[in-house]
A and B are shown apart, each in its own frame.
Chain A
C-alpha cells in the first residue's frame, strides 16, 4: 500500500498520514466535511440574548409611537415608575414579601417531593401508597384546589405558601421518581457486591443517580412556584407584587402592571439560571450533548 511506502519520508502527524492517502483526503475546505452534530460551544450569557431582542423590539415600537402608551407603556416609563416605586420603598417591600413566599414554598415543597419520591422509588409498598395520590393530584389543575384551600386555610400567608409548596411538590416528585427508576440496575448489583449499607447506598448511588431528574424537576418547580405565587397574590392579598399589580389595574396604571410583569419575568429567568448553574456544577461528570 502506498501509505506504508510514503510514511518514512513524510513528516509525522495526522496531516501527513492523510496526505499520503489521497483517496481518504478530507481536509480540503469546502469538500465533504464531516457534519458537526453537536450544538457547539456554549455562548457566554447566551440566555440573555432572546430577552434583549424582545426588549429592543418593544423600545422601537414605543419610540416610533407605534405602541399606544395607554395600551403598553414605553420601557423607559416602566424604568421611571420602577425607580419611583423603589424610592418610596413600596417596590422592595412587595418584592421581599413575594420572594419570601416563594422561598418558603420551595423550602417546604422541594424536600417533601424529594422524600416522597425516595420512599416511593425505594420500596414497592411506598410506591403503592404514594404514587397514586400524587398522580391524581397532578391530574387536578392546582388552581382548582384554590377554593378548597381558601376554605381550609383562609386567605393568609399559610394558604399562599401551601399553594406554592403543593404545586412545587408535584414536578419534584415526578422527575425525581423518574430519575430514581432510571438508575441502571447494574449499579444496584454493584452496591450489593461491595456490601453497601442502605444509607451509603442512598448517598452514593440513589441520590447521585436521581440527581439529573431531580434538577430537571427543580427547574419546573421554580417556574411553577412563581406561577402559583401570582395566582395566590392576585386573590385577596394586601402585599406582594401581585397585589401591587392588582391595585394598579384598579387605577389603570399600565406602567405599574408592567413593572410587576418585568419583575416576575426577571425573577423567573434568574431563578431558572441559578438552577441551571447548580445543574452544571453538580452534573459535571456527564458528557452530554449540552457539553
Chain B
C-alpha cells in the first residue's frame, strides 16, 4: 500500500481469497477526492472485505493487487467501538496528542457538546455512533470508510444520522466510501453508487448528477437499476 499526494484513491486488480473462495477477484476502483460513494452488494459479496483492504486491516489475508490510499484514512465501524473504560473525549482523541480542543469541537459538531465526560455506556446507540463519527472527523481524514455505520440504529435515528453525515461530508470533504444494505440510503446520500458482485464492481449509478431536482426525478429509475444489479427483480 502506498500513500500518494494526488488524493485519488486507486485500487487495481484487487484479489482477496478466503480458503478456496475468491471473495474479491481482480477488482478495479477509483474514488475521486471529496466524492461520496456508496457501496451496495449482497450479503457476503465482499463489501467488508474491500473496506478492510482499503483500511489496511487485512495483512494476513491472501490475495494480490495494488491499493493506493492517502495517508489519513479513518474507519467508522458498524458498532461504535468506543473503549468502554475511557470517557467520551479521550475516546474521540484516542492516539492523538494535544488534540483536546479539536476533540471538543468535533463533539460539538456531532451535537454532543457537554458530554465529554460521559462514559460510553451511558450514551444511546445513536449518540455512541456520533462519538465514533467525531473520532473519525477529528483526524481530518482524506478517506472516510464506513461499514454499515447505521445498521444497528432505528429508522428515525438513521434519518437524523444521514443528514448529519451528509452535512459533515460537505464541510470536511473527505472521500467517503459508505457500505450499506439500503438502496434508498445509498441514493439519498451518495454522489455515486456502486454495486459489488462476483468480486468486482458490477454496476455504477450517479444519483447526484444533474442537481437535486434531477435526483427526485430519476430516483425510481436508479433504484430499479440498482435493484436489478443486486439480483432483486423490482416487480412491485
Contacts and interface: CB of A to CB of B under 8 A. Distances in A.
Interface string B64-91: 0000000001110101010111100010
Contact of A196 (B84, B94, B135): B94
Contacts of A286: 84, 121
**Interface band, chain A:** 20 to 34
Contacts of B81: 186-187, 190
**Most B CB atoms within 10 A — which of A190, A191, A192, A286?**
A190
A200 B121 CA distance: 22
Contacts of A287: 121
Nearest to B73: A193
Interface residues of B, number: 20
A89 interface: no
Contact of B86 (A189, A208, A211, A283): A208
A237 to B, nearest CB: 43
Contact of A204 (B75, B77, B94): B94
Interface string A179-213: 00000001101111111110010001100110100
Given A186-B77, A200-B95, A193 B57 contact: yes
Nearest to A193: B75
B16 interface: no
Contact of A285 (B75, B77, B85, B94): B85
A194 B75 CA distance: 8
A195 B99 CA distance: 15
B43 to A, nearest CB: 20
A194 B95 contact: yes
A211 B85 contact: yes
Contacts of B83: 187, 190, 204-205, 208
A179 to B, nearest CB: 12
A195 B119 CA distance: 23
Contact of A193 (B55, B119, B120, B121): B55
A115 to B, nearest CB: 21
Given A190-B81, A196-B94, A285-B119, A204 B139 contact: no
Interface in B74-118: 74-75, 77, 79, 81, 83-86, 90, 94-95
Contacts of A191: 95
B148 to A, nearest CB: 14
Given A186-B77, A209-B85, A194 B139 contact: yes
Nearest to A190: B81
A194 B83 CA distance: 13
B92 to A, nearest CB: 10
A192 B94 CA distance: 11
A197 B94 CA distance: 11
Contacts of A211: 85
A194 B119 CA distance: 20
A204 B86 contact: yes
Contacts of A195: 95
B57 A186 contact: no
Given A186-B79, A189-B57, A285-B119, A196 B85 contact: no
A209 B86 CA distance: 10
Nearest to A187: B83
Nearest to A287: B121
Contacts of B119: 284-285
Nearest to A283: B85
Interface of A: 186-187, 189-197, 200, 204-205, 208-209, 211, 283-287
15 contacts: A187-B83, A189-B57, A194-B94, A194-B95, A194-B135, A195-B95, A196-B95, A200-B95, A204-B83, A205-B83, A208-B83, A283-B85, A284-B119, A285-B85, A286-B121
Interface of B: 55, 57, 73-75, 77, 79, 81, 83-86, 90, 94-95, 119-121, 135, 139
Given A190-B77, A194-B139, 15 more contacts: A186-B79, A186-B81, A187-B83, A190-B83, A193-B55, A193-B57, A193-B73, A194-B94, A194-B135, A205-B83, A208-B86, A209-B85, A211-B85, A284-B119, A285-B120
